[in-house]
Chains A and B, each alone.
Chain A
Amino acid sequence: MILGAILAIWLPNLMAAIISMGIVGYSLALSFMFLGAPDLAIVQIIVETMSLIILIAAIIKTTEKDTPDEKKLSRAVLYIGSTAFFVVFLLMSIKVFYQLPPFGNPALRMASDYIASGFEKTGAPNLVAAVILNLRGYDTLGEVTVLFAAVVGLVVVLRKTGRKR
């Protein structure tokens, strides 16, 4: 997965970069499956396939070569900057890791309450559906509204009538 991500950044050919992005997405779906989240894995596989189709169609219509970026900063500055960022990030995360509760012992007590009483409260055997549609309905409502807004924005940008020549 990490290899696919690195390849997607480094490859000059855009088609190969998109295919390595597909590697990232499908291995993400595989890891969802191994972690025991089949709902997420299904959605991830389908979304990845569709976005690959749309991106490949766009690439075929436009161009295959990556545009070279302008070299404003020298290479040494870039390397030093990224190394410094990496070191600072590592130090901070080591500091934070000591504050975390031990694994399998989450800080929020709400999740265990959902698992214990979700079935009696909603009557749905699939606990994921019970959580996202009944106990946490607001979240799903927000997601659906965001998707609707995205589609409206896309149609407004791409429409033909009302566009000035």
Chain B
Amino acid sequence: MSEIVKTVSRIFAPLIIIFGIYVTLHGHLTPGGGFAGGLVIAGAVILLVLAYGGGIERLTRERTTTSRLESSGILLFWFVAVLGLVIGGIFFLNIMGKGIPFAIFSAGIIPVCNIAIAIEVGGAISTILLALVLFKRDKK
């Protein structure tokens, strides 16, 4: 891509990632949540990949990282769910305190679940895009 596209995406990608983290962390207070936040983060990754490209080795390494992130996200979500089963005897029991309403650390396990879903969705969408890009490179 041209120099203009590279510069603009280099400036904007961190802002997009910060916005995704904001949407994720405030998922229990404002509209949005884990799914939307993870998608926004994956959008920043897609922007960088489209603007910069890169060799097969570098993209393969990135794909390994994103698929590891995705697997750890889904493991974290299951872990939270099973933790409720172990401690309280009910699957998905809200084991943490509810805290003060409208504060950022409140509502028990909901923020933790949001973060897990954001990691999972962002990793999944980035993995899909990187796998397609790598497949296209392979055929040439």
Contact = CB atoms under 8 A, between A and B. Distances in A.
Contact of B131 (A49, A133, A140, A154): A154
Given A148-B74, A158-B131, A125 B29 contact: yes
A16 interface: no
Interface string B50-86: 1000000000000000010011001001100100000
A39 B34 CA distance: 10
A97 B138 CA distance: 54
A151 B124 contact: yes
A9 interface: no
Contacts of B30: 126
Residue with the greatest number of chain B CB neighbours at <10 A, chosen from A129, A134, A137: A129
Nearest to B129: A54
A124 B40 contact: no
A128 B108 contact: no
Contacts of B108: 122-123, 134
A122 B28 CA distance: 10
A88 interface: no
A138 interface: yes
Contact of B77 (A47, A141, A155, A160): A141
A53 B74 CA distance: 26
Contacts of A160: 134, 138
A59 interface: no
A165 to B, nearest CB: 13
Nearest to A136: B92
A94 interface: no
Interface in B12-54: 23, 27-33, 35-36, 39-40, 42-43, 46, 50
Contact of A42 (B36, B91, B101, B107): B36
A151 B131 CA distance: 9
A56 B108 CA distance: 42
A146 to B, nearest CB: 10
A42 B74 contact: no
Given A126-B28, A151-B128, A158-B132, A144 B74 contact: yes
A61 interface: yes
13 contacts: A46-B40, A50-B43, A50-B46, A122-B98, A123-B106, A128-B31, A129-B110, A129-B114, A132-B33, A137-B92, A144-B74, A147-B120, A148-B71
